[in-house]
Amino acid sequence: MSKPFALPPLPYDKSALAPVISAQTLEFHYGKHHQAYIDKLNALVRDTPFEAQSLEEIIVATTDKPERASIFNNAAQAWNHAFYWRSLGARGGGEPGGRLLELIRGSWGDYASFRAQLAKAASEHFGSGWAWVVLDSGRISCMTTANAEVPFTRGRTPLLTIDVWEHAYYLDYQNRRSDHVVAVLDKLVNWRFAEENLESARSDVAMTA
């Protein structure tokens, strides 16, 4: 049986994010939920042209196509989760630096204002979905997407994400999503990963200019 997609390895041990995100949560979230998206996607694309495409290509090809909703949802969730794991780190949190901080200050005035808006967007998003830090027309912005939706199908470049589906936090925080969001922002967000995505986006723009 062909398996074109595989669960990517975590960039840290399952206990590395505790106590903000417990090893038990990672065991279920990564080992069960993320794996399930991979397995379902493999079953859906088997013996179709999608089997030879990347996750990004599948997402772009199936977005806003109701007849391809199952393929889109599982491909996008596989992509979102792989991106999410890299958005976290055991020694993360706090204020970013470098060009990212310069752009945040240019867009928001200061990091505190940006952080407050990101926390609000993540905490108050209705239902399941994702909170994102994105590059939007040269400015740093916050946005949320519902369910499996992704920013790059809307013309925005994702730099970092926070998962606000209940399975991301319920074992550790029950219904206290805002407490989870604050803890992630203060202790786990991997700004270095966001900076790498920013530099990659700027390089892509320079190459096409």
123: CATH: 3.55.40.20
State percent of the chain over pLDDT 70. 95
Q: CA-CA distances (angstroms) from residue 59 to 18, 55, 56, 72?
A: 32, 6, 5, 6
Tell me which of 98 and 209 has the higher pLDDT. 98
Residue 154 resides in a domain: yes
Q: Which helix (H) or strand (E) holds 196?
A: helix 191-208
Residue 133 is assigned to a structural domain of this protein: yes
Residues 109 and 180 in one domain: yes
pTM of the complete model: 0.94
The answer as to whether 17 is a domain residue is no
Judge whether 185 and 118 are in contact, CB under 8 Å: yes
For residue range 73-123, list pLDDT tens digits in order.
999 999 999 999 999 999 999 999 999 999 999 999 999 999 999 999 999
What's the domain range around 52? 23-86
Is residue 121 domain-resident?
yes
Q: What does the pLDDT read at residue 1?
A: 45
**Residue 192 burial by CB count (10 A; 0-12/13-18/19+): exposed, middle or buried?**
middle
Same domain, 76 and 35: yes
Total domains in the chain come to 2
pLDDT in tens, 138-189: 999 999 999 999 999 999 999 999 999 999 999 999 999 999 999 999 999 9
